[in-house]
Amino acid sequence: SPENAWWSDAVVYQIYPRSFQDSNGDGIGDLRGITSRLSYLAELGVDVVWLSPVYQSPQDDNGYDISNYQDIDPMFGTLADMDELLAKAHELGIKVIMDLVVNHTSDEHAWFKASRASKTSDHADWYIWEDPKTGFTGGEKGAEPNNWGSYFGGSAWQWVPERGQYYFHQFSRKQPDLNWENPDMRRAVFSMMNWWMDRGIDGFRMDVISLISKLHDENGKLRGVNGSLLPEEPAGPDGFSSPSPDCSDGPRLDEFLSEMRCEVFAGREGFLTVGEAPGISGERAEHITNPKNGELDMLFLFEHVDVNSDGPAGKWGRGISHFAETKPSFAKYEQIVKDGGWTSLFVSNHDQPRSLSRWGDTSTEELRVRSAKALALTLHMHKGTPYIYQGEELGMTNADYTRLDQYQDLETLNLYKQITEAGIMTPEEMMAGIKRVSRDNARTPMQWDDSKYAGFESVDAVTAPWLEVNANKATINAQAQMADDNSVFAFYKKLIELRHTNATVALGDWNALETTNENVYAFTRTFHSELGEEKLLVIANLISEESEMDDSISAALAELGRSIEQNDVLISNEDVEALKKQLESGVLKPWTAVVVKVK
Ligand code: TEU
Ligand code: CA
């Protein structure tokens, strides 16, 4: 069972290296910068650090386009810097996992250069190539093999005259999809993974791993279910259809993942594998993460962050959302765990807007702190493995940008063009969407202190940070929060400590309480040991108004048999006297959140 794994009570911290700490004043975060901040992570108490990609890359998608897997991009440092980071992290008891991006490479990778050069090269079939549509010569509009669009805008097909063929790219045209049907390609990927494991890393976060197997025919050619034609789905208003139904959770995914487990991880211990898995159902997630199937330790599923994103403008047209809307998704994730699998728990990463800006209240400093703690408590009290994205532990917020030219993310810039040109949104509407959901919201430099560049780089650096620092560094920064016992940072530290020290928090069964007031989220965690049963009751009011508590919550609270005292409260953003009043009157203050030990 996953409960026996070393990581069953672990907390993972994600670093986006570009934006974490710059050590040499070129405006870009780097490995030496990270190494210099490891003591901060040790103080916070995290067990594992996940580094977004630092490999050699033309940086079309900030490193998710890799041109050489077995070297560090000079922008981030050297292999020696990586070795030093690993050694220092391990000294502090922190494991390090790297991002593994093997659904695609950069178009500047040697494998792709060989593949595009000719149809007969050794690497000819390492990527996914198709002829132009019948009746077309190729390269002209309408000649693409089908109408699939790339997630980053435009067609998913790119014409290459040398081969007289198109290659397939689900992401940017500088990110051609690898052909996992090719066994030589798979062997090369596994050998690269072994090289990194042997170098001392502790595992991988696997980028869009759910997309590596596509629908294909018996010759391994990308084909629809009817075997002869590429599937052509109905197009959206931009003229493209999504490749997702035919390219996610494909027929050989389990086989590829088991093969990887055998080829890379068999005989190793103390590692962690987490797969990014858009398009995977709850049942399939349980299968993939159930240890008896030997695939992956856990997955990132996206249902909770994708809520309200299915209009014609996708996430860009998403309105205001409430965290309570994610309850059904968390129930699904907890079911995966109940059934013998495992789940990761996250509200932020480098692709999402800041969770606090999306779901919390940043209108006053008091509400910012209160709502950041309520969201953190709620997430961390689930069963699974919590992930903290850099700056989340400080309650960092979305970028404060007002102009398009302040953004750099290729998805943001491409989709601005595509959505406004197709008339799906006006430029004003799209700018509002970008302000809410652009990936750059999470990529602004880490706020270490209130100095000119927030401590991300030194004040006298000649080159400014690659992405503008948020002006609220003056109030939101690590230095201030580390000195304050009531800070968001101190609260995260306590949540992590609870997971390490309290078996019920790490391993207790999760059960939702039925509530009619949807703004209140309540669940229990129950753990049986030789000492008997321990039961925790988690209550959170997820809005900026008072909320009435349901009777089901009062009933669960009544198991305590008396009114609550300081010792019954494991953690809260409210003091015990205030809690007593609210729990007895049944009216919760805005964002009150608490874990009560009722048994
Ligand atoms: O993201 C995959 C993914 O599903 C994204 O399309 C995500 O949904 C989108 O960015 C949200 O707007 C992974 C990486 O996390 C992302 O940074 C990369 O750009 C992408 O893969 C391609 O490698
Ligand atoms: Ca640097």
Residue 76's CATH number: 3.20.20.80
- Residue with the nearest Cα to atom 18 of ligand 1? 64
What's the pTM? 0.98
> Would residue 142 count as lying in a domain?
no
Nearest ligand 1 atom to alpha carbon 65 = 23
What is the per-residue pLDDT for 238? 87
Phi then psi dihedrals of residue 536, to 5 deg = -110, 140
Cβ of 101 less than 6 Å from ligand 1: yes
Cβ of 238 less than 6 Å from ligand 1: no
DSSP 8-state code for residue 487: S
- Distance (Å, whole) CA 437 – CA 455: 26
Cα distances (Å, whole numbers) of residue 22 to 16, 31, 352, 486:
12, 8, 23, 29
Verify that 263 and 370 share a domain, yes or no.
yes
Verify that 346 and 396 share a domain, yes or no.
yes
What is the per-residue pLDDT for 316? 97
Verify that 520 and 477 share a domain, yes or no.
no
Residue 187 alpha carbon to ligand 1 centre in Å: 25
Cβ of 168 less than 6 Å from ligand 1: no
Cβ of 176 less than 6 Å from ligand 1: no
**Exposed e or buried b for every residue in 571-593, given b needs 16+ CB within 10 A?**
bbbbebeebeebbeeeebbbbbb
Cβ of 466 less than 6 Å from ligand 1: no
Cβ of 152 less than 6 Å from ligand 1: no
The answer to whether 595 and 584 are in contact (CB under 8 A) is no
Residue 303 alpha carbon to ligand 1 centre in Å: 14
Verify that 74 and 207 share a domain, yes or no.
yes
- Residue in 405, 408, 406, 404 with CA at minimum distance from that of residue 433: 404
Is 226 buried (19+), middle (13-18) or exposed (0-12) by CB count in 10 A? exposed
> Would residue 55 count as lying in a domain?
yes
Q: Which helix (H) or strand (E) holds 428?
A: helix 427-437
For helices 183-199 and 253-260, the axis angle rounded to 10 degrees is: 40
Q: Which ligand is nearest to the CA of 153?
A: 1
Residue 101 alpha carbon to ligand 2 centre in Å: 23
Most informative mutation of 351, 352, 443 for ligand 1 (most atoms within 8 A of CB): 351
Cβ of 151 less than 6 Å from ligand 1: yes
Verify that 396 and 518 share a domain, yes or no.
no
Told to judge if 207 belongs to the known catalytic residues of this protein, a careful annotator would answer yes
- Residue in 396, 374, 384 with CA at minimum distance from that of residue 540: 374
The answer to whether 432 and 438 are in contact (CB under 8 A) is no
Which residues make Cβ contacts (< 8 Å) with residue 3, sequence separation at least 6? 507
Verify that 477 and 547 share a domain, yes or no.
no
Phi then psi dihedrals of residue 385, to 5 deg = -115, 110
Verify that 573 and 478 share a domain, yes or no.
no
Cβ of 265 less than 6 Å from ligand 1: no
- Distance (Å, whole) CA 569 – CA 595: 6
- Residue with the nearest Cα to atom 3 of ligand 1? 208
> Would residue 460 count as lying in a domain?
no
Nearest ligand 1 atom to alpha carbon 302 = 8
Most informative mutation of 64, 249, 303, 411 for ligand 1 (most atoms within 8 A of CB): 64
Is 371 buried (19+), middle (13-18) or exposed (0-12) by CB count in 10 A? buried
What CATH number did the domain enclosing 525 receive?
2.60.40.1180
Told to judge if 276 belongs to the known catalytic residues of this protein, a careful annotator would answer yes
Q: Which ligand is nearest to the CA of 211?
A: 1
Nearest ligand 1 atom to alpha carbon 170 = 22
> Would residue 121 count as lying in a domain?
no
Which SS3 state, helix, strand or coil, does residue 337 take?
A: helix
Token pair 């949104």 in the structure block, residue: 425
Verify that 200 and 322 share a domain, yes or no.
yes
DSSP 8-state code for residue 317: G
Structure token digits, residue 50 = 């996940």
Q: Which ligand is nearest to the CA of 17?
A: 2
Which residues make Cβ contacts (< 8 Å) with residue 366, sequence separation at least 6? none
Cβ of 351 less than 6 Å from ligand 1: yes
- The active-site residue, picked from 276, 361, 393, 574, is 276
Cβ of 306 less than 6 Å from ligand 1: no
Residue 351 alpha carbon to ligand 1 centre in Å: 6
Cβ of 16 less than 6 Å from ligand 1: no
> Would residue 226 count as lying in a domain?
no
Residue 471 alpha carbon to ligand 2 centre in Å: 21
The answer to whether 12 and 47 are in contact (CB under 8 A) is yes
> Would residue 325 count as lying in a domain?
yes
For ligand 2, an ion, list residues with CB under 5 A. Answer: 22, 24, 26, 28, 30
Strands 203-206 and 272-276, how do they pair?
parallel
Verify that 190 and 56 share a domain, yes or no.
yes
Q: Which helix (H) or strand (E) holds 533?
A: strand 532-541
Amino acid found at 176: P
Cβ of 171 less than 6 Å from ligand 1: yes
Verify that 191 and 62 share a domain, yes or no.
yes
Query: Mean pLDDT of residues grouped by 10 in the chain (599 residues)?
Result: 96 99 98 98 98 98 98 98 98 98 98 97 96 94 93 97 97 98 98 98 98 91 70 84 92 98 98 98 98 98 95 91 96 98 98 98 98 99 99 98 98 97 97 98 98 97 97 98 98 98 98 96 97 97 98 97 97 98 98 98
- The active-site residue, picked from 207, 259, 286, 295, is 207
Verify that 478 and 524 share a domain, yes or no.
no
- Residue with the nearest Cα to atom 14 of ligand 1? 207
Residue 436 alpha carbon to ligand 1 centre in Å: 17
Verify that 380 and 529 share a domain, yes or no.
no
> Would residue 308 count as lying in a domain?
yes
DSSP 8-state code for residue 445: P
Residue 98 alpha carbon to ligand 2 centre in Å: 19
The answer to whether 253 and 213 are in contact (CB under 8 A) is yes
What is the per-residue pLDDT for 228? 52
What is the per-residue pLDDT for 227? 59
Domain count, the chain: 2
> Would residue 496 count as lying in a domain?
no
Dihedral angle sign, alpha carbons of residues 561, 566, 572, 575: positive
- Residue with the nearest Cα to atom 11 of ligand 1? 351
- Three-state DSSP string of 65-107: CCCEEEEECCCCCCHHHHHHHHHHHHHCCCEEEEEECCCECCC
Supply the range of the domain harboring residue 97: 2-103+183-213+249-400+471-482
Token pair 């205030």 in the structure block, residue: 578
